[in-house]
Structure 1
Amino acid sequence: MDDQIRIPCVLMRGGTSKGPFFLNSDLPSDPRQRDELLIEMMGSGHPLEIDGLGGGNSLSSKVAIVGPSTRDGADVDYLFAQVKVLERAVDTGPNCGNMLSAVGAFAIEKGLISAQRGETSVRVHNVNTGKIIEARIQTPGGELRYQGETAIDGVPGTAAPVYLAFLEAVGAKTGMLLPSGTPQEIINGVPVSLVDGATPVVIARAENFGLTGSESAAELDASAEFMAQLEEIRIDAGRRMGLGDVRDSVLPKPVLIGTPRNGGTLAVRYFTPHACHTSLATTGAVSIAIAATLPDSIVGAMLPELNFPADLTLEHPTGRIDVRVERDETTLDPVVFITRTCRRLFEGAALVRRKN
């Protein structure tokens, strides 16, 4: 008997993240068994994830699980799993917008969606948050296309664009834009905004930590005192947002904003949460853009002249990301648009040790 299990998968880059994509029918339906399999598969519990598919970094230790939609108005289901690198644990609390940008292409390749001529719209139900995001995939002549001329900072080269429209971006985890009931409050002497957009975030001005918001990710990670201060604020923020004890959760995500240096709208440093993101999570960018629509929030107060619809350029450690914010004509809720790219990197099967 073969002592390894073979599970079909496709390794894909989505935005500035990458990881294996699976059909949900190829994984155990029991969440505990599924997570044990993902931990084993990714090599979690080792800093290099040397005995698995993970890349030893939170941006490359991610999994996407895709299947037929279980919600009206959506085409496919997408469950995101953050497989922790150092701890043998899986967190399915957050969404990942970067990985999401490859879901439509994966669904088309697997026959879950039929490609249309020109562009194919895929309405993705993010199971983590219950929200629907529309992905527009380039399919000229009814054929999926990965190559193109669109560049995104944090990824070398160019590829075909993927347009993401976050149609239900408010209240991803708590159901409320302002879970604590106020656009701004004080935690440990630091003014913050607790916003639940595409992901729950705790936003503060970098200057309140003696920073500019344009520091490198490595510089911020190296400051143990700063990281400890940020974690204390994050834990208190989680309690105030109704998320409970978040010591073992990746939510909420801390965000620092500052004055831009390269012609952008804001300088942004986003944390994952225990390390600074080398670029900027898509869901983080969406949440910052939504916060900008609140004049009394930390973000809104920095952009008092902003009018909507608005185009924002957010500077991050490896470049910038452009975000467009509009208001739904009927509900007046914010709708956020972001351009990403994706690429199919490898296809085959993940091999996992068979348990006796």
Structure 2
Amino acid sequence: MTKIPVAIMRGGTSKGAFFNEQAMPKQREDWEGFLLDVMGSPDNMQIDGLGGANSLTSKVAIIKKSKEADVDIDYTFAQVSIDKKMVDFKGNCGNISSAVGPYAIEQGLVAAREPVTEVRIYNTNTKKVIISEVEVEDGRVKQEGNCSIPGVPGTGSPIYLSFEDAEGSVTGRVFPTGNAIELIETSFGVLCISIVDVANPLVFVKAADVGLNGTEMPDDYSTESLAKLEEVRSIAAELCGFCSREEAAHRSPAVPKLTIVSEPTEYIDLTGRKRMAEEMDLAIRMMSMQRPHRALAITGAVCTTAAAYLENTIVSRLVPNLNRTLRLAHPAGIMETQAELHEKKVHAIKVVRTSRRIMEGYVYTKKEYEMAASTEDHRKEQLVI
């Protein structure tokens, strides 16, 4: 058994375990086993760990002070499978990213500057920089505020995330296949898809093409529909060069993310509020680890926004009249993104989130690990900070 410092934080509509990299196992090859141990996987209930039996609560952020002059923090994201013995390090999570800045400030890894501290975050998964703007009051991260986001009860202090030059985050290319549109052969017919890699790779499909209306809630999908969607995602994973389609569910379950889009349509969201077509520019539904997302991944929103500005994608065909603000209607409500253009190309995409530190303490593992630093050394360092 090993005792390790950990913080549990909510970032946007996700929740995860946050570790200082110095509190991680010394050998990188031990990270996967360690995180499965900590989160209680594989087990559908994750009853023996910190995981919450949902892909949105089975996430980890590993953070350290950067040695690079132009960034403050190095941040590695891990999506821990619930029912499989694997951890996916391929992509990033934008919601979890929103809690990285507050964590870094509270841990003393970044000096607090009032009223707003800018934290430059280097995501090691995608090798891209995210700029986080965090409100600070009396030297501490401000928790209270009037900002509300769909999918999270209550309000909090706004955190602005700007994803700069996020093209080719995982595959190295905006269009991993070289084409804005691909025709694929599936067991249920020929299908038109767009695979776009900005902040995270997504595979877009029109709702009507997979027998959906685009306003489904997370519990509305049949087993047959989910199987269809995973078949499309698996083919896209193969086209991205991640693995064969037969291996996709195991070897690359987190990317690309299957994304269903459709024209603006009124629907009742998860809060019971009626959303009107004129409130949105696009209806969107995402899959997360083969399950319906209850809201919308931030990297998914960023990629969708970029796709709306790219010629001849499924998304840009559905959003012919673009404003600087794009309104994306998802199961929990409507998210807005803002695009910053440079020479008619998207330079940065900004979103607003909230976050909250839920607890800080120690987690006890079932196995022994050789750690980068002892628990006592890490505790002393935190006291010095």
> Does residue 112 of structure 2 align to residue 115 of structure 1?
yes
Does the 8 A contact of 2:339 with 2:346 survive in 1? no
**1:49-88 deviations in whole A, cap 9, x for unaligned?**
0011100010001111000114442110110111111112
Q: Which residue of 2 aligns with 1:43?
A: 40
Question: How much has 1:152 moved relative to structure 2?
Answer: 0.3
Q: Which residue of 2 aligns with 1:204?
A: 205
Equivalent residue letter for 1:192: I
If the length of structure 2 is used for normalisation, what is the TM-score?
0.87
Distance 2:286 2:347 in 1: 21
> Does residue 260 of structure 2 align to residue 253 of structure 1?
no
Equivalent residue letter for 1:256: I
| Unaligned 5+ runs, structure 1 | none
Moved more, 4-13 or 150-159: 4-13
- Listed as ranges, the matches of 1:1-356 within 5 Å are 4-188=1-185, 189-220=190-221, 223-245=222-244, 246-248=248-250, 249=252, 250-260=254-264, 261=266, 262=276, 263-307=279-323, 310-328=324-342, 332-355=345-368
Moved more, 338-347 or 253-262: 253-262
**1:195-248 deviations in whole A, cap 9, x for unaligned?**
00110010011011221111111112xx12222222222122122222233332
Runs of at least 4 residues off by over 3 Å: 331-334
Moved more, 264-273 or 339-348: 264-273
Q: Which residue of 1 aligns with 2:373?
A: none
If the length of structure 1 is used for normalisation, what is the TM-score?
0.94
Does the 8 A contact of 1:213 with 1:267 survive in 2? yes
Does the 8 A contact of 1:122 with 1:134 survive in 2? yes
How many residues are treated as equivalent by the alignment?
348
Equivalent residue letter for 1:337: K
Question: How much has 1:141 moved relative to structure 2?
Answer: 4.4
Distance 1:167 1:123 in 2: 11
Distance 1:38 1:63 in 2: 8
**1:4-27 deviations in whole A, cap 9, x for unaligned?**
311001110000001111100011
Equivalent residue letter for 2:258: P
The root-mean-square deviation of aligned C-alpha atoms, in Å, is 1.5
Equivalent residue letter for 2:243: G
Moved more, 10-19 or 167-176: 167-176
Question: How much has 1:35 moved relative to structure 2?
Answer: 1.6
Does the 8 A contact of 1:116 with 1:139 survive in 2? yes
Equivalent residue letter for 2:208: E
| Unaligned 5+ runs, structure 2 | 267-275, 370-385
Does the 8 A contact of 1:268 with 1:314 survive in 2? yes
Pick closer, same or farther for the CA change 1:337–1:115 going to 2, 3 Å.
same
Distance 1:355 1:302 in 2: 53
Name the SS of the counterpart of 1:39 in structure 2: helix
Pick closer, same or farther for the CA change 1:236–1:160 going to 2, 3 Å.
same
Identity of aligned residues (%): 40
Equivalent residue letter for 2:327: T
Question: How much has 1:326 moved relative to structure 2?
Answer: 1.9
Moved more, 111-120 or 29-38: 29-38
Question: How much has 1:354 moved relative to structure 2?
Answer: 3.8
Does the 8 A contact of 1:133 with 1:168 survive in 2? no
Question: How much has 1:175 moved relative to structure 2?
Answer: 1.4
